[in-house]
A and B are shown apart, each in its own frame.
Chain A
Amino acid sequence: MVIFSVYVVNKAGGLIYQYDNYVPRAEAEKTFSYPLDLVLKHHDEKVVVSFGQRDGIRVGHAVLSINGVDVLGKNTADGKDTLEYLKDPSNYPVSIRFGRARLSSNEKLMLASMFHSLFAIGSQLSPDVGSSGIEMLETDVFKLHCFQTLTGQCELFDQNLKGALEIAEKAGNFGAGS
């Protein structure tokens, strides 16, 4: 059990605070010969696996580094397009590291405002009167808990947050690895 991250969203849907408490490493490195046995594609300025799962590499994983050198978005470190680079048989054998792409701060802002509208729609589509927005959203790997204040504002947040996380972890319900 572990707390993954904390997001604070203001009443306009803007992200005003974000803290990553624990980011699990899900990465796999493998050496490939030509041709590549995975199907890769461009997605959101990244190169991701669109088909073919093997050896811990999953659909949706992004190319993180080639031959030990980190890629820059969809380009290799020396500025070439990654997909073009991998199409060239003379570059093989090649070692590629795959993993879940980390969220950029821009993506975090986007997700925060996305949740803001989901929260509102969740309340509008309620079959019962007087419903709040989404308080808890559940998937098979994480749960998202949301608490809305009366005003949408929080004071002294930063100081209190770290304390609260420590208390929650000491309480035994959370904490990396437990």
Chain B
Amino acid sequence: MTVHNLYIFDRNGSCLFYNEWNRKKQAGISKDEEFKLMYGMLFSIRSFVSKMSPLDMKEGFLSFQTSKYRLHYYETPSGLRFVMNTDLSVPNARDTLQHIYSNLYVEYIVKNPVCVLGQSLDSELFSSRLDSYIRSLPYYSPRAA
């Protein structure tokens, strides 16, 4: 039971926010490259899924899992993308990502006139609230993992 890391991308693909909590393996490339790779993968998955789908979709892509981790994806209608990696014991983190958007991003970034939208989030209030929210999640416990 653990949360590995969290990415926030804007609609243009720039990474607004990244933090990691319990990450055992780095990608072996610079963070900048990793964000591009991650965004590119999500972009391709979105296009892949919309073509592959036998029916019309509402939410579209929700999550994928490998043998070791699960990636949870939440996209707002304005194109903001929240990506969280957890281990396999977390079945659904959609509410968590929605909470981060509506109760943290909107409250501390959108309602803060000093934060320029579309640039990386350097609000300390947002980072610390997010960190304590993630740490308070029932499935956040790096020791057990």
Interface residues of A (CB under 8 A from B): 4-5, 22-24, 26, 58, 60-61, 100, 103, 107, 111, 114-115, 117-118, 121-142, 144
Majority-rule SS of A interface residues: loop
Q: Which of B4, B58, B66 is in CB contact (< 8 Å) with A122?
A: B66
Cβ–Cβ contact B66 & A131, under 8 A: yes
A123→B27 CA distance, assembly (Å):
9
Interface residues of B (CB under 8 A from A): 4-5, 20, 22-25, 27-28, 34, 37-38, 40-41, 44-45, 47-69, 71, 85, 87
On chain B, the residues within 8 Å of A144 by CB distance are: 52
Cβ–Cβ contact A126 & B48, under 8 A: no
Q: Which of A4, A5, A124, A137 is in CB contact (< 8 Å) with B27?
A: A124
CB within 8 Å for A139 and B62 given contacts A122-B41, A125-B38, A127-B5: yes
Task: In the A-B complex, list the 5 residue pairs whose CB atoms are closest, starting with the nearest.
Answer: A127-B4, A131-B68, A132-B67, A137-B64, A128-B68
A96→B45 CA distance, assembly (Å):
31
16 new A-B contacts at CB < 8 Å, known A118-B44, A138-B63: A5-B54, A24-B55, A114-B47, A115-B48, A121-B41, A125-B34, A126-B68, A127-B4, A128-B4, A131-B25, A131-B66, A132-B68, A137-B61, A138-B61, A139-B59, A140-B57
Q: How far is the CB of B68 from chain A (nearest CB, A)?
A: 4
On chain B, the residues within 8 Å of A107 by CB distance are: 51
Q: Which of A24, A100, A117, A128 is in CB contact (< 8 Å) with B69?
A: A128
On chain A, the residues within 8 Å of B85 by CB distance are: 127
Cβ–Cβ contact B65 & A114, under 8 A: no
Cβ–Cβ contact A139 & B60, under 8 A: yes
Q: How far is the CB of B19 from chain A (nearest CB, A)?
A: 12
